[in-house]
A = this chain, B = another copy of it.
Amino acid sequence: MPVNLKPPLPAQLFPIKGVTLGIAEAEIRKPGRKDLLVIALEAGTHVAGMFTQNRFCAAPVVIAREHLSIPEFAIRALIVNTGNANAGTGQTGIGDARATCAEVARLLGCDTRQVLPFSTGVIMEPLPLGKIIAGLPAAVADLREDNWLAAAEAIMTTDIVPKAVSKQIFFKDTPVTITGIAKGSGMIHPNMATMLSYIATDAALSQPMLLEIARHATENSFNRITVDGDTSTNDAFILMGTGLAGNSPVRDRESAEFAQLRDAITEVAAQLAQAIVRDGEGASKFITIQVEGGGSADECSKTAYAIAHSPLVKTAFFASDPNLGRILAAIGYAGIENLDVNELQLFLDDVLVAENGGRASTYREQDGQRVMKQSEITVRVVLNRGDASATVWTCDLSYDYVKINASYRS
Using a CB–CB distance below 8 Å, which chain A residues touch chain B? Answer: 53-57, 85, 87-93, 122-125, 186-187, 189, 191, 228-233, 309-312, 315-316, 318-319, 321, 323-326, 328-333, 336, 339, 341-342, 354, 356-359, 397-399, 401-403, 405-410
Contacts of A402 in B (CB 8 A): 315, 318, 397-399, 401-402
Cβ of B228 and Cβ of A312 under 8 Å apart? yes
Which residue, of A57, A186, A319, has the highest number of chain B Cβ atoms within 10 A?
Answer: A319
Cβ of B89 and Cβ of A406 under 8 Å apart? no
User: Which B-chain residue is minimally distant from A358 (CB atoms)?
Assistant: B90
Cβ of A230 and Cβ of B310 under 8 Å apart? yes
CA distance A363 to B14 in the complex (A): 48
CA distance A331 to B309 in the complex (A): 18
Give 6 A-B pairs besides A56-B357, A88-B357 with Cβ atoms closer than 8 angstroms.
A91-B358, A315-B401, A321-B408, A321-B410, A397-B402, A401-B402
A406 partner, pick from B186, B321, B329, beta carbons under 8 A: B321
User: Which B-chain residue is minimally distant from A331 (CB atoms)?
Assistant: B56
Name 8 A/B residue pairs within 8 A (Cβ), A-sorted: A55-B339, A56-B331, A56-B341, A315-B406, A318-B402, A319-B407, A321-B407, A321-B410
Q: How far is the CB of A119 from chain B (nearest CB, A)?
A: 12
Known: A55-B339, A316-B406, A354-B124. A325 touches B87 (CB 8 A): yes
Cβ of A55 and Cβ of B341 under 8 Å apart? yes
* Closest 4 pairs (CB-CB, A-B): A123-B325, A56-B332, A90-B358, A124-B325
Chain A interface helix/strand/loop/mixed: loop
Contacts of A186 in B (CB 8 A): 312
Known: A187-B312, A325-B85. A333 touches B55 (CB 8 A): yes
Known: A87-B329, A329-B87, A358-B92. A230 touches B311 (CB 8 A): yes
Q: How far is the CB of A356 from chain B (nearest CB, A)?
A: 5
CA distance A401 to B318 in the complex (A): 12
A55 partner, pick from B233, B336, B354, beta carbons under 8 A: B336
Contacts of A312 in B (CB 8 A): 186-187, 228, 230, 405
CA distance A321 to B397 in the complex (A): 20
A329 partner, pick from B123, B125, B311, B331, beta carbons under 8 A: B123
User: Which B-chain residue is minimally distant from A89 (CB atoms)?
Assistant: B358
A90 partner, pick from B93, B315, B330, B356, beta carbons under 8 A: B356
CA distance A89 to B354 in the complex (A): 9
CA distance A309 to B346 in the complex (A): 26
Cβ of A55 and Cβ of B332 under 8 Å apart? yes
CA distance A326 to B319 in the complex (A): 28
Contacts of A54 in B (CB 8 A): 329, 332-333
Cβ of A324 and Cβ of B124 under 8 Å apart? yes
Known: A55-B333, A402-B397, A406-B319. A233 touches B328 (CB 8 A): yes
CA distance A125 to B353 in the complex (A): 12
